[in-house]
Structure 1
C-alpha cells in the first residue's frame, strides 16, 4: 500500500507476514454458493478461493498501520513478533523482517510516539516487545502503549481456552507495563485531540471481550482501523458465521454487521488488519450483503 493522505493525516502499512489457513478451519459453514458470490468481486490472483470450501484458503496478511498526524506518529497493532514461544505453530519462533519493513516505510522504533492495539490477541501485540539480552523489553522506547481495559483485565486472569493469548499477554503486555510505558484506557478513549478531529477508540466487542475499532480524522475523510471485526472478505457475505477465536460469536456477528453498515453508509476509508493487496478500501452494499472495493 502506498501512503494514503487524508487531510492532515497520512497512513502507512507495515507488513510482517502472510498466513494461509484452510477456509473450513476458520469459518466452517461457508458454502459453494457463498464462494461463487465472493469470486464475482474478490480476485487475490493466486487461486486462494475455489468453489469448494474444502480446497479454499483464507490467506491473511499480518501487518500494522502507522498514522502520522499533527506531529504524532501512532502505530496501530503490532503483529506477531519475533523469537516468541507460541502454542500456534504458524507463529512460533518467528524471525521476520518487520522492523526492516518499518524502517523502509520511513520509521525507526524510536520514532513511534504511541502504540494502539485494537485488541490483545497474540497477532496484534507481538512487536510490543523484543528480546534484549534475554529479556523482553518495549520495542518502541519512546512510546506510550494504550491497552483497552476489558481485554487487559480478561487476559491477565489466564481464562480457560485463551492460553494462546495469555502467553502473549505475559511476554508482550506485562513487560510494557513493568517498564512504565503502558496505559490502561476505556474502550471509548480519545487518544489525540477529539472525536471527529483526532484519533479515538470505539467499542466493537465480540471477537474479544474488549475489541475496539480505531478511528482517525484530521481535516479530511474518516478512516476506520477495524482490527479483527472482519478478518477476510468472505465474512462480508457470511457475517453470521462464528470465526475461530471469536470470544462471543453472536456479539461478534452483530458487531460485523454494524461496522459494515456504518462503513458503507458513511463511505469510510477502511484499514482491515488482515486483508491482502493494498488492504485499504471501502465497503459497498451488495444486495442483502456487502462487498469490498480496494483502493
Structure 2
C-alpha cells in the first residue's frame, strides 16, 4: 500500500498478518439481512461473507500505522509480535516478517521516535519487545512508548478472565517500563504539539477499560486511528451487538456509535486497526446505519 499524505502528515501501513475467525464466535447476533446489506458495499474478494453468520468469517488484518509528521516518526499499535507464548492458538509463537515489512515501508526500528498503543491487548503491543539472548527487550530502542494509565493499572493487577492480555503485559509492556522507555499517560494526552495541530489521544472506553483513539491533524483534515473501537465493517451496521472481547460491552457499543457518528459528520479520515483491503477510508451515513468507503492511495 502506498502512503497517504494528509497535510504535513504522511501515513504508512505495516502489515503483520491476516487472522480469520468464525463470525459467530465474535458477533453471534448478526443476521442474514445484515450480511446481505453488508455485501452491497463490502466485497473482500473471497468467501469471507456468506449468507448467514454461521457460514461467515471475520478476517482481521493485523497491522500497524506509521505517522511521519514534523520530523517525528510515530508507530501506532504494534500487532502480535514474534516468539511469544499466547493462549490464542492463531498467534502463538508467531514468526512473521513484520520488521521486514517495516523496513520495506522505509523504516528501521531505530527510526521510530514514539510508540503509541490504542490499548493494551495482546495484538496491539506485541512488537513493543523482541527476544534477544533469551530476554525481552524494547524493539524500538530510540523510542518513547506511551501507555494509557487505565489499561496499565488494570492489566498489571492480573485481572480475572484476562489471562491472554496479562501475558502480553508481562512480555511486551513491563520490559519497556523496566528499560526506562515507557511513559504512563492519561487518556487525553497530547503527544505532539497540540490538539488540532499535532497528535493526541481521546478516551474511547469499553473495549478495554482504557481504550483510546489516536488523532492527528496537520494543515489538513483530521485522521483517527480507532484501534479496536470497530473491528470489522459489519459493526457499522450492528454497533449494538457486543463484541466477544469487549470488557464492557454496553460502554463499547455507545463508544462505537459515537465514533461512527463523529467520523461521518466531520469526514474524518479513518485508519482502523483490523479492516482489510487498504483499511483507510471514510465512514458514510447509510439510512439508519453507516457504510465504509475505502481510500485507494
Distance 2:19 2:37 in 1: 23
Distance 1:199 1:252 in 2: 23
Does residue 163 of structure 1 match 2:163? yes
Structure 2 residue aligned with 1:23: 23
Distance 2:193 2:56 in 1: 44
Matches within 5 A, 1:92-111: 92-111=92-111
Structure 1 residues not aligned, in runs of 5+ = none
Secondary structure of the structure 1 residue equivalent to 2:254? helix
Distance 1:115 1:254 in 2: 27
1:155-200 per-residue CA deviation (whole Å, 9 max, x = no partner) reads 0000000000000000000000000000000000000000000000
Secondary structure of the structure 2 residue equivalent to 1:61? strand
Structure 2 residues not aligned, in runs of 5+ = none
Structure 2 residue aligned with 1:43: 43
Structure 1 residue aligned with 2:76: 76
Distance 2:284 2:81 in 1: 33
Matches within 5 A, 1:255-274: 255-274=255-274
Matches within 5 A, 1:196-211: 196-211=196-211
TM-score in terms of structure 1 length: 1.00
Distance 1:244 1:164 in 2: 14
Does residue 90 of structure 1 match 2:90? yes
Distance 1:263 1:186 in 2: 23
Shift of 1:52: 1.5
TM-score in terms of structure 2 length: 0.99
Distance 1:15 1:112 in 2: 16
**Stretches of 4+ aligned residues off by more than 3 angstroms:** none
Structure 2 residue aligned with 1:139: 139
Distance 2:7 2:33 in 1: 41
Shift of 1:149: 0.1
Distance 1:244 1:201 in 2: 25
Count of equivalent residues: 295
